[in-house]
Amino acid sequence: MSPIIHSLMECARYVSQSMVVSYPTESVFGLGCNPNSQIAVQRLLALKKRSMKKGLILVSANYKQLIPWIADEELSDDQRSYMFSRWPGPVTWIVPARRTTPFWLRGQFTTIAVRVSNHPTVIALCKSCNTALVSTSANLTGFLPCRRESEVIENIGNHIPVLVGQTSGHLHPSEIRNLLTGELIRGG
């Protein structure tokens, strides 16, 4: 694959073929793939040089896209209301995972990290793929995240499709909070 920028429909097709793609998010470029494909997730983890035990974030266009992996019935109305009050936007919530949520998504945890994005490119990609996406920053573990298409190609390589677009300009990756405990895991 050449180091050119790809269209939304091309990237959606690549996701359906268990490939990893890169796209702009609220603060950095992300790497994403189909959460239903263990092969795709393994490719993403190999690119990042990241352990499967750590778990991953799912990003979506809406809450409905997350339902296959969230134990929604374990959330109280107050917890759900609080979560929705911060969405869509750059807040990732740690929530109970369904028992059927695979290890390759949740890692060593019984929870899963999820976010409903307000970034137009993320929303369009998730809608085009008709699913939430695994989403992690486009960088090798321990290195700074990429903020432009050219940085993704320079740091990750030219072997993954990069969706053209701009980040929303947030300086820090998404805030991560545990919905069950209220704990701030990572500041935004």
Question: What are 146-170's pLDDT values in tens digits?
Answer: 888 888 888 887 889 999 888 887 7
| Total structural domains within the chain | 1
Spatial separation of the C-alpha atoms in residues 156 and 150, rounded to whole Å: 10
Asked if pLDDT for residue 61 goes beyond 90, the answer is: yes
DSSP-based three-state secondary structure for 136: strand
What CATH number corresponds to the domain at position 23?
3.90.870.10
Structural domain that includes position 94: 5-186
- What pLDDT is stored for residue 2 in this prediction? 42
Q: Judge contact between 95 and 161, C-beta under 8 A.
A: no
Q: Are strands 184-186 and 111-116 parallel, antiparallel or unpaired?
A: unpaired
Q: Each residue of 89-115: pLDDT tens digit?
A: 999 999 999 999 999 999 999 999 999
